[in-house]
Amino acid sequence: MKLYNETSAQLNLEPQRMRAVQGDLMDSNGPAFQDEDFRDFDLAVMSMALHHVPDPLAMLRALVRLLKPGGRVVIIDWTLDTAQDDGTDVVTPQYSTQYPVAYHGFNQQQMAKLFKEAGCVASDYQVHPEPSHCPPMSNPWRHLFFAKGEIA
Ligand SMILES: C[S@@+](CC[C@H](N)C(=O)[O-])C[C@H]1O[C@@H](n2cnc3c(N)ncnc32)[C@H](O)[C@@H]1O
């Protein structure tokens, strides 16, 4: 975070344009919801974090709250393995602070439902064609998706 903010200063960018802040997006009293600069975003991007969150709908609602009208939220995360592609929610039973993975991934159906319930009026879901290496998983080669939700 220090390096990010130092880089921003070296690039002569105003803190409003590029600034790292540490906080819990699930904490409605946290910095993301108190700071005047943390609202009216055109775009909120969350990369490889949604599968760590036990309540992904609450997280998407929190991200949507940061947007201005017409704003978009982009989620990058793992697709589900073929065996889990039936659209049922798959939560890892061993979720804990030592193993903070709540979901194996999300398919298109699940993301469309999450975006809709979070207040989005349109959504999209694209799978990256190249697999990514993810050594700790039983299948070390997995696909990422890029999903987009848009509010009115
Ligand atoms: C696997 S890392 C991904 C890091 C980076 N975004 C990337 O794509 O390489 C998961 C990230 O999710 C963040 N995260 C999980 N729950 C969060 C929450 N409630 N609020 C904010 N960040 C959260 C963690 O702090 C961690 O940095």
**E-state strands within 14-143:** 41-47, 67-78, 122-127, 132-133, 141-142
| CB of 25 closer than 6 angstroms to any ligand 1 atom | yes
**Shared domain check, 94 and 45:** yes
**Shared domain check, 46 and 3:** no
pLDDT at 102 over 90: no
Mean pLDDT of the 127-150 span = 87
pLDDT at res. 23: 87
Helix, strand counts (H, E) of the chain:
4, 6
Q: What is the pLDDT of residues 27-49, one digit of tens each?
A: 888 877 788 878 899 999 999 99
Q: Give the number of domains in the chain.
A: 2
Q: How far apart, in whole angstroms, are the C-alpha atoms of residue 67 and residue 64?
A: 5
**Shared domain check, 102 and 77:** yes
pLDDT at 82 over 60: no
Nearest CA owner, ligand 1 atom 14: 49
**Shared domain check, 53 and 16:** no
pTM of the model: 0.90
pLDDT at 135 over 80: no
**Shared domain check, 109 and 47:** yes
**Ligand 1 atom having least distance to the Cα of 53:** 16
| CB of 74 closer than 6 angstroms to any ligand 1 atom | no
| CB of 24 closer than 6 angstroms to any ligand 1 atom | yes
**Shared domain check, 50 and 31:** no
Q: How far apart, in whole angstroms, are the C-alpha atoms of residue 6 and residue 20?
A: 10
Structural domain for 106, as ranges: 40-150
| CATH number where 120 lies | 3.40.50.150
Mean pLDDT of the 106-125 span = 96
Sheet holding 144-150, edge to edge: 41-47, 67-78, 144-150, 122-127
